[in-house]
């Protein structure tokens, strides 16, 4: 009887999606809800929680360290966008050029860094940006007569290391995204433009860039996500969550510090919710930009 029901066409779809429903409820919705609950509580791991009302939120608003973490995450995100959107787009257009040699080889080479883990890449960049005069970047700078720089001890130079790491790991992936986008642009458009006497630049400006918009929005969105949620890169580069004057502290870094290192889960949950709010706003903006609302309504 039960077996016949389970094998019926009516029950089968529910059996198929059941694992998702379970995972969604237990490992997504419940944690999210408990995050909201925890933000109104004082919580230590393995102890019962106490309600504290809006204390965590009040503390968060006055918390200069949180502000610093937010600023770091925002600056990092904005800078990665400036580096990791226009350049990959340009490189993709060039790689895609009809007369390009060794296209496949370059595509593979640019993709290599994405194969490394943040742990390995972070370790390599930590060593490359070491403060000794013999360290890779410093020895390169020395050729131009620049004194050795203590990269990971200053705010601006620390960010140079952080952004180099991000650019190295993601440039090739973003090039692939843009190449996939370019494939969707019909050749006819360019031929028609050529007949009308359009210059290469005009074609780029009036055909390529506008028609790449969906790809650009996609890359923009995932880059903002990755940027705002960045933590492990900083953790590896500074070999821990404590950088000098917290120059490498990010929102998730702060969440980790408060929640895991200080066992202050309620406050940390509040930090997480702020990030959730930010990503929601980004999501809605993205949906609005890509015109999804218009299509569905």
> What residues numbered 103-162 form the site for another protein, per CB under 8 A?
106-121, 123-128, 130, 132-136, 138-139
Footprint of another protein on 190-229 (CB under 8 A): 214-215, 218-219, 221-222, 225, 228-229
Q: Find the shortest distance in angstroms from Cβ 62 to another protein.
A: 21
Cβ pair 65, 246 in contact under 8 A: yes
Question: Which residue from 193, 204, 207, 279 is in contact with another protein, where contact means CB under 8 A?
Answer: 279
Residue in the block written with tokens 């968060």? 60
Cβ pair 40, 54 in contact under 8 A: yes
Does residue 90 bind another protein (CB under 8 A)? Answer: no
Interface with another protein by CB under 8 A: which range of 152-160, 166-174, 188-196, 202-210? 166-174
Question: Which residue from 51, 58, 78, 184 is in contact with another protein, where contact means CB under 8 A?
Answer: 184
Footprint of another protein on 229-268 (CB under 8 A): 229, 231-232, 236, 239, 252, 255-256, 259-260, 265, 268
Smaller CB separation from another protein, 13 or 53: 13
Smaller CB separation from another protein, 52 or 222: 222
- Assigned token pair, 106: 């370059």
Q: Find the shortest distance in angstroms from Cβ 12 to another protein.
A: 4
Tell me the C-alpha distance between 221 and 279, whole Å. Answer: 9
Question: Which residue from 1, 9, 145, 297 is in contact with another protein, where contact means CB under 8 A?
Answer: 9
Listing DSSP states for 69-89 in one string gives: HHHHHHHHHHHHHHHHTHHHH
- Of residues 120, 142, 115, 122, the one with CA closest to residue 131: 142
Q: In degrees rounded to 5, what are phi and psi of residue 143?
A: -65, -25
Cβ pair 125, 164 in contact under 8 A: yes
Footprint of another protein on 24-63 (CB under 8 A): 24, 26-28, 30-32, 34-35, 38, 43, 45-46
Tell me the C-alpha distance between 222 and 283, whole Å. Answer: 10
Cβ pair 155, 245 in contact under 8 A: yes
Smaller CB separation from another protein, 106 or 189: 106
Question: Which residue from 5, 16, 144, 201 is in contact with another protein, where contact means CB under 8 A?
Answer: 16
- Of residues 193, 263, 242, 287, the one with CA closest to residue 69: 242
Q: Find the shortest distance in angstroms from Cβ 64 to another protein.
A: 22
């Amino acid at each position: 009887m039960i077996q016949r029901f389970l094998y019926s066409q009516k029950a089968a779809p529910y059996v198929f999606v059941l694992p998702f429903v379970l995972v969604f409820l237990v490992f997504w919705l419940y944690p999210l809800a408990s995050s909201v609950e925890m933000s109104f509580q004082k919580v230590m791991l393995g102890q019962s929680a106490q309600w504290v009302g809006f204390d965590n939120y009040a503390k968060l608003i006055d918390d200069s360290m949180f502000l610093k973490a937010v600023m770091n995450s925002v600056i990092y995100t904005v800078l990665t966008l400036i580096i990791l959107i226009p350049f990959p787009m340009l490189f993709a257009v060039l790689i895609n050029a009809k007369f390009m040699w060794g296209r496949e080889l370059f595509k593979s080479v640019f993709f290599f860094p994405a194969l490394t883990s943040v742990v390995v890449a972070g370790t390599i960049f930590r060593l490359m940006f070491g403060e000794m005069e013999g360290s890779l970047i410093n020895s390169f700078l020395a050729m131009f007569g620049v004194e050795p720089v203590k990269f990971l001890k200053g705010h601006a130079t620390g960010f140079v290391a952080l952004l180099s790491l991000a650019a190295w790991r993601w440039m090739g992936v973003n090039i692939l995204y843009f190449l996939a986008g370019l494939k969707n642009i019909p050749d006819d458009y360019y031929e028609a433009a050529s007949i009308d006497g359009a210059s290469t630049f005009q074609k780029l400006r009036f055909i390529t860039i506008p028609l790449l918009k969906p790809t650009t929005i996609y890359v923009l969105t995932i880059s903002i996500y990755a940027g705002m949620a960045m933590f492990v890169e900083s953790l590896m580069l500074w070999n821990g969550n404590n950088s000098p004057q917290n120059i490498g502290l990010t929102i998730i870094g702060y969440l980790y510090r408060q929640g895991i290192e200080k066992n202050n889960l309620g406050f940390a949950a509040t930090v997480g919710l702020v990030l959730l709010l930010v990503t929601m706003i980004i999501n809605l903006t993205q949906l609005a930009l890509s015109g999804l609302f218009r299509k569905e309504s």
